[in-house]
Amino acid sequence: MVGKILVLGATGNVGTPLVKALRTQGQAVKAASRSGKPVEGAEGVVFDYADPSTFGPAFEGVDRAYVMLPSGYVNAKELLLPVIEAAKARQVKVVFQSVFGVDADDSIPYRQVEIALEKSGLPYVILRPNWFSDNFQTYWKAGIDHGQIAVPAGEGKSSFIDVRDIAASAAAALTSDRFDGKAFNLTGPKALSYGEAAKILSDVIGKPVAYTAISDEAFIGILTGAGVPNDYATFLASIFYPVREGWTAAVTGDVETLTGKAPRSLETYAKDNAQALKA
């Protein structure tokens, strides 16, 4: 493999540590976002899912691409299928960031994008990360500030994963052909309820953080009150159903298979991000 690696969402949660991991290995990277900002010493390139005229320049000189949908978008098929087509037209290997559990039902839009990739004839790797540990410093940060995380998770457990472990897994999938044609379910090392997670965060940042299980309706009300569009708030509520059912509690060895290292615990995530969690 001699071409450049295109990283979509390069200034985002996974994209930033992914570009860093690839640059550390000496890979030539094109860091794509709407702003086209350079990231971690990698050249920046403008890319907008909503503007296919940006695809050609972004794919120029590229033989591998990390494809993901940024947060805040619900129309996965509409935005991702044209990107898979653009990769196919140029015979670019795709490492696709999907979502944990979507293989349960072929009618789920993310699964349909996976199926399109599987049928594309391209070399590909599918990564299905579980809930990010890092959501505690993004989505749930306002709750932590108020001493209470309120989500409709019931007592369901999730094996939260640190974005650095998703990035390391992605870097391995992009720089080796050993994993081609396979899907990996990426999890952290242990399943935790939101109550257990709140206790860990509370101990690390040194202030009380409680967990309150709330209804979907109450959750949507809180999010829309904070300015989240109703369709995205409703989508976020819907993805807590698998959590309450216990489906996100599975722990796999897939991060270690890809990276050779065990994934980071929530304690490690919290310690390494204590400043951001306390800010």
What is the binding site for ligand NAP (CB under 6 A)?
A: 9-15, 33-35, 47-50, 68-71, 97, 99-100, 129, 131-132, 135
- By beta-carbon proximity to ligand NAP, the closer residue of 129 and 263 is 129
| Nearest-angstrom CA–CA distance, 123 and 109 | 21
- By beta-carbon proximity to ligand NAP, the closer residue of 56 and 208 is 56
Tell the smallest beta-carbon distance from residue 46 to ligand NAP (Å). Answer: 9
Tell the smallest beta-carbon distance from residue 63 to ligand NAP (Å). Answer: 20
- By beta-carbon proximity to ligand NAP, the closer residue of 129 and 242 is 129
Residue with tokens 């796999």: 252
- By beta-carbon proximity to ligand NAP, the closer residue of 35 and 91 is 35
- By beta-carbon proximity to ligand NAP, the closer residue of 64 and 242 is 242
Tell the smallest beta-carbon distance from residue 48 to ligand NAP (Å). Answer: 4
Amino acid at 75: N
- By beta-carbon proximity to ligand NAP, the closer residue of 31 and 213 is 31
Tell the smallest beta-carbon distance from residue 274 to ligand NAP (Å). Answer: 20
Tell the smallest beta-carbon distance from residue 138 to ligand NAP (Å). Answer: 8
Using CB positions, name the residue nearest to ligand NAP: 12
Tell the smallest beta-carbon distance from residue 149 to ligand NAP (Å). Answer: 14
Look at strands 182-186 and 157-158 and give their pairing: unpaired
